[in-house]
Amino acid sequence: MTNQTAHRCPWGSVEDTEMQNYHDHEWGKLNLDDQYLYEMLVLELFQSGLSWSTILHKRENFRHALKNFEIEKVAQMDEHNIDELLLDKGIIRNKLKINAAIKNARAILKMKEEYGSFAKYLQNFIPSPIMHHPETVSDVPVSNELSQKISKQMKKDGFFFVGPVIIYSYLQAIGLINDHLEDCDFKYRA
């Protein structure tokens, strides 16, 4: 099967190769590496109010600006680093989101101390991936009771920009929820 003949979820069937690659190789595919989990949390929080395509096209810039998403290094960032990031035209220059990315790195470090890893923290809510495979895009929720529960707990645990919609999208991104459509050729690869 070539990329041209593959049947994808509608949002992955666009002329944007970044979107296609993300759909085909990442979205819905379980990845519980803590650094990847942090990267996706950062990208999801920056995506709030913007298109996912915009974020994917700035992903390498974010990677460079946020120290390759190394949690310990980002957690040490200070006001001077924030001021530098606010001048970086390659990323989304939103001070609240930049602060949230740093605070979330610190929160992840606390969860790693308590649970052994951020992945284990998340797996307390979802021990194994949830496979939905809805028939149409309209059947895919933007949030659910689980994302509301996780969002509420994450806020209590010191995370920021983790509302139920962001968390649902995040769970899809890291593969804890797999919402590839029923007729998508990539649903079982996840």
Quick check: 190 pLDDT over 70? no
State the DSSP string of 58-104: THHHHHHHTGGG-HHHHHT--HHHHHHHTT-TTS---HHHHHHHHHH
Set 22, 27, 121, 170: catalytic member: 22
Ligand-binding annotation for 25, yes or no, is no
Mean pLDDT of 118-135: 95
- Residue 19 belongs to a domain with what CATH number? 1.10.340.30
59 is a domain residue = yes
**Tens of pLDDT, residues 78-125:** 999 999 999 999 999 999 999 999 999 999 999 999 999 999 999 999
Structural domain of 63: 8-176
Q: Is residue 12 part of a domain?
A: yes
132 is in an annotated binding site: no
The whole-number average pLDDT for the span 22-42 is 97
User: Is 183 part of any domain?
Assistant: no
Cβ neighbour number for residue 79 with a 10 Å cutoff: 8
Catalytic residue among 44, 121, 168, 170: 44
pLDDT digits (tens, 9 = 90+) for 5-31: 789 999 999 999 999 999 999 999 999
Q: Is residue 146 part of a domain?
A: yes
Could you tell me if 85 and 91 are in contact, meaning their C-beta atoms sit under 8 angstroms apart? yes
Which pLDDT score is estimated for 5? 79
Q: What is the average pLDDT score of the chain?
A: 95
| Domain contains 2 | no
**pLDDT above 90 as % of the chain:** 94
pLDDT band per the 50, 70, 90 thresholds, residue 189:
low
Split into its structural domains, the chain has a count of 1
Distance (Å, rounded) from C-alpha 46 to C-alpha 100?
9
Q: Is position 57 annotated in a ligand binding site?
A: no
Q: Is 23 assigned a ligand-binding role in the annotation?
A: yes
Catalytic residue among 27, 52, 121, 170: 52
Residue 189 lies in a domain: no
pTM of the model: 0.95
156-168 tens-digit pLDDT? 999 999 999 999 9
Active site residue 27: no
State yes or no: pLDDT of 65 exceeds 50.
yes
